[in-house]
Amino acid sequence: AQSVSQHNHHVILSEAASLELGCNYSYGGTVNLFWYVQYPGQHLQLLLKYFSGDPLVKGIKGFEAEFIKSKFSFNLRKPSVQWSDTAEYFCAVRGNNRLAFGKGNQVVVIP
């Protein structure tokens, strides 16, 4: 079964700072990759996804992620965060129909 690692569980940064969240997975087969976001008091929402094609994918709200197959990574980035980006971010990997999540990154953006 696949596993997903996210580091730096708690991230605090100021508005306009750049954000990068790491995601590494272990699975040898074909994978689909996702980043989900959970804003305070809300349910999980899709931020972006990768199935095939261009390994640099763009999602909502200015987020993007890059799939690097050789590194088994799918890191999330945003050049300039806003206070409204305060949320928990989860990386997920689907392989052989099993959908596994990382432990999440709690991101707090200070105005």
Partner 1 sequence: GAGVSQSPSNKVTEKGKDVELRCDPISGHTALYWYRQRLGQGLEFLIYFQGNSAPDKSGLPSDRFSAERTGESVSTLTIQRTQQEDSAVYLCASTGTGVHRNTEAFFGQGTRLTVV
Among 51, 71, 82, 110, binds partner 1 (CB under 8 A): 51
Does 34 bind partner 1 (CB under 8 A)? Our answer is yes
The residue type at 28: G
Binding segment toward partner 1, per CB under 8 A, in 22-30, 65-73, 77-85, 87-95: 87-95
CB 102, CB 33: distance < 8 Å: no
Could you tell me which stretch among 12-20, 22-30, 65-73, 92-100 binds partner 1 (CB under 8 A)?
92-100
CB 13 within 8 A of CB 109: yes
The span from the CA of 35 to the CA of 49, in Å, is 6
Number of residues that bind partner 1 (CB under 8 A): 22
- Amino acid (one-letter) located at 11: V
Are the beta carbons of 44 and 37 closer than 8 angstroms? yes
Segment near partner 1 (CB under 8 A); pick from 15-23, 60-68, 77-85, 102-110: 102-110
